Chains A and B, each alone.
Chain A
Amino acid sequence: MTKRIFEIAFEVVTFLLMFAAIYAIFIYAPIEKTMGIVQKIFYLHVPAAFLAFSAFFITFLASIVYLYKKDQKWDVIAYCSAEVGVLFCTIVLITGPIWAKPVWNVWWTWDPRLTTTLILWFIYLAYLMLRGVVRENQRANLSAVFGIIGFANVPITFFAIRLWRTIHPVIITSEGINISKPMKYTLLLTFCAFFLFFLSLLKNRIKLERLKINTENVKAVYEEIFSS
């Protein structure tokens, strides 16, 4: 009962924060002088990128724990997190060019940050496809290895704007966030709202995957009993 109340409270808070974030983005945050109103895409783009990286980090950790413990629970977490990560990475790859067209005058350029993000998306798309084609007894092990090796591209993507010459804006530096205070507060609020939404999405995806596995197990036992 307490757990259910906590879940409802969590979802209500997420919903309210989402509304507050939308209000902050469109009403509270000022319009940027050079880029104009299109800069507000940044409030979706940056949290989505952060969540994609976080999701791939969870996949990485869960894959290590799976290889160590051989407990299917961790394989499920790694898989679901990769799926949610691909979802957010897709949002990053769509909102980025929509922002770039009016600002850079091109939809896409082979800039290090953009290229490494696209590679990252392909890596985790391949991870999801791999699970579909590999035999069941090898699936978890191979996915875990892929999940660990694939994560190597995350720090490369993150540091791409610091390691190479790039036209991608650098907002978060070692000195903090390089934007005005209202923009900073809006970004932090959007971060919090999207982070709670991400947790809720991941939790429900894991629940669904567990339900699927349990149903398949029951089905297999049922068929085994009644076929003999």
Chain B
Amino acid sequence: MTGTLYLFSGFSITWIILFIYLFSMVKRQKSLEIQIEKISSKLEKVQNSQALP
């Protein structure tokens, strides 16, 4: 393996790790958004049922 290949591996692995971490953060945020959506839709249903005579 030449020095360039080591250098390339070092930089690629670093950026891959950082992107995986950023991706995991986005995924966690998406899952929280889904949870919030579920709660708000349930609350909406309850509000609608209470509004009915």
Q: Are B3 and A102 in contact (CB under 8 A)?
A: yes
User: Range of interface residues on chain B?
Assistant: 20 to 34
Interface presence of A87 (CB below 8 A): yes
CA distance A98 to B1 in the complex (A): 11
Q: Are B32 and A98 in contact (CB under 8 A)?
A: no
When the two chains form the complex, which single residue of A36, A204, A218, A226 contacts B3, counting CB atoms closer than 8 Å?
A: A36
- Neighbouring B residues of A35 by C-beta, 8 Å: 3
Interface of B is mostly: helix
Q: Are B1 and A102 in contact (CB under 8 A)?
A: yes
Q: Are A219 and B21 in contact (CB under 8 A)?
A: no
Q: Are A38 and B7 in contact (CB under 8 A)?
A: yes
How many cross-chain pairs have Cβ atoms below 8 Å apart between A and B?
A: 67
Given contacts A91-B17, A98-B9, contact A222 B3 (CB under 8 A): no
When the two chains form the complex, which single residue of B22, B29, B39 contacts A218, counting CB atoms closer than 8 Å?
A: B39
When the two chains form the complex, which single residue of B6, B10, B29, B39 contacts A208, counting CB atoms closer than 8 Å?
A: B29
Could you give, for residues 32-49 of chain B, a 1 whenever the CB lies within 8 Å of some chain A CB and a 0 otherwise?
Answer: 100110010011001000
Could you give, for residues 188-228 of chain A, a 1 whenever the CB lies within 8 Å of some chain B CB and a 0 otherwise?
Answer: 00000000000001001100100110010011001000100
Cβ distance B48 to chain A, nearest Cβ, rounded Å: 15
User: Range of interface residues on chain A?
Assistant: 20 to 34
Q: List which A35-78 residues lie within 8 A (CB) of chain B.
A: 35-38, 40-41, 44-45, 48
Interface presence of B50 (CB below 8 A): no
Given contacts A41-B6, A222-B39, contact A94 B14 (CB under 8 A): yes
Interface presence of A181 (CB below 8 A): no
When the two chains form the complex, which single residue of A45, A98, A226 contacts B6, counting CB atoms closer than 8 Å?
A: A98
When the two chains form the complex, which single residue of A40, A87, A218 contacts B17, counting CB atoms closer than 8 Å?
A: A87
Given contacts A218-B39, A222-B43, contact A205 B25 (CB under 8 A): yes
Q: Are B28 and A226 in contact (CB under 8 A)?
A: no
Taking CB as reference atom, which chain A residue is nearest B28? A208
Given contact pairs A37-B3, A98-B9, enumerate 11 new A-B contacts (beta carbons under 8 Å): A37-B7, A38-B3, A38-B6, A41-B7, A44-B14, A87-B17, A95-B14, A98-B13, A205-B25, A212-B28, A222-B43
